[in-house]
Amino acid sequence: MGLLDDYETEELDYDSAPNHRSGYVALLGKPNVGKSTLANQMVGQRLSIVTDKPQTTRHRILCICSGSDYQMILYDTPGVLREQRHKLDSMMMQNVRSATVNADCVLILVDACKAPEKIDEVLEEGIGDLKNKPPTLLIMNKKDLIKPGEVAKKLEWYTKFTDVDEVIPVSAKYGHGVEDVKNWILSKLPNGPAYYPKDIVSEHPERFFVAEIVREKIFLQYRNEIPYVCQVNVISYKARPNAKDFIQVEILVEKNSQKIIIIGKEGKALKLLATAARLDVENFLQKKVYLEIEVKVKENWRQDVGFLKHSGYGGQIGIV
């Protein structure tokens, strides 16, 4: 499975059978409910980064799930935030809303381990005042972590007290119930040809995923506020047929004290980060790379609208 980069010079053929279904699916929910895990499971490949920290997903990530007679285009969105403290937060929420504007159906994830709660906030942030509300499925994720009796009780509560068309319990981590979700989506998608070649899984360029992998490693390696003040940009990506691909990456933080933490004593923390990221990048790209990472300070980048748009938070992935 590849990326759209691979097709830039090829003729694309989107012809399909008359009963072929294609459409867009918005994936919504609060932070840490498992949206990215579900998206990865449905595509069958890790595209969205996953950690146990909130706000791991910042961009609206397009994941393409195709079969012989269908194509589901999933938008994995940032977790819905109750409080928006920076321009970054508000722009992430704009990405949530824009994902649902043209969606053929909406999936809302909740954590089955937590007490049932109204999903009004997620519905308001995602669907808002759309005149024609799209078909909506509520997915109770992490059912593997609670007893069957509890699953049944919470299923009954959500069915009774939420404004959705159906409720399906799943374990995104293990893939349980994911086929039921796919079948529900297929029942809502319109007939039509595929929007993308069948053997690609995303339209995002390789450099976007390289940056996301580095950012995931920051989330996994550092604590407290450090992951949230980091922006990762790929400065240069040079494919070299007879040598390792050369990738230059910058990590931006807001203060010099944060830069010192990222680098660590004698550069050991940064070296550990770079090694972990390089191994994952090589696994993703299926090729050897030379990864160079530099840490820089850019004060208040989370409040800089022009910079945020250039970095892809305006809905399009920039050239950084």
What is the domain partition of the chain in residue ranges? 2-200, 205-310
319 pLDDT higher than 60 = no
Which of helix, strand or coil describes residue 296?
A: strand
Looking at residue 10, what is its pLDDT? Answer: 45
Helical (H) or strand (E) element with 66: strand 61-67
Which of helix, strand or coil describes residue 76?
A: strand
Looking at residue 4, what is its pLDDT? Answer: 60
Question: Do the domains 205-310 and 2-200 match in fold?
Answer: no
Render pLDDT for 99-151 as a digit per residue (tens, 0 to 9). 888 899 999 999 999 999 989 888 887 777 667 889 999 999 999 999 999 99
Residue 118, class by beta-carbon neighbours within 10 Å (0-12 exposed, 13-18 middle, 19+ buried)?
exposed
| Highest CATH level, class, for 2-200 | alpha beta
Which of helix, strand or coil describes residue 47?
A: coil
Looking at residue 178, what is its pLDDT? Answer: 97
CB 70 within 8 A of CB 195: no
C-alpha span between 143 and 168 (Å, rounded): 10
CATH topology of domain 205-310: GMP Synthetase; Chain A, domain 3 (3.30.300)
Looking at residue 96, what is its pLDDT? Answer: 86
Looking at residue 2, what is its pLDDT? Answer: 65
Which of 42, 35, 97, 79 has its CA nearest to residue 64? Answer: 42
Residue 279, class by beta-carbon neighbours within 10 Å (0-12 exposed, 13-18 middle, 19+ buried)?
middle
Render pLDDT for 234-292 as a digit per residue (tens, 0 to 9). 999 999 988 999 999 999 999 999 999 999 999 999 999 999 999 999 999 999 999 99
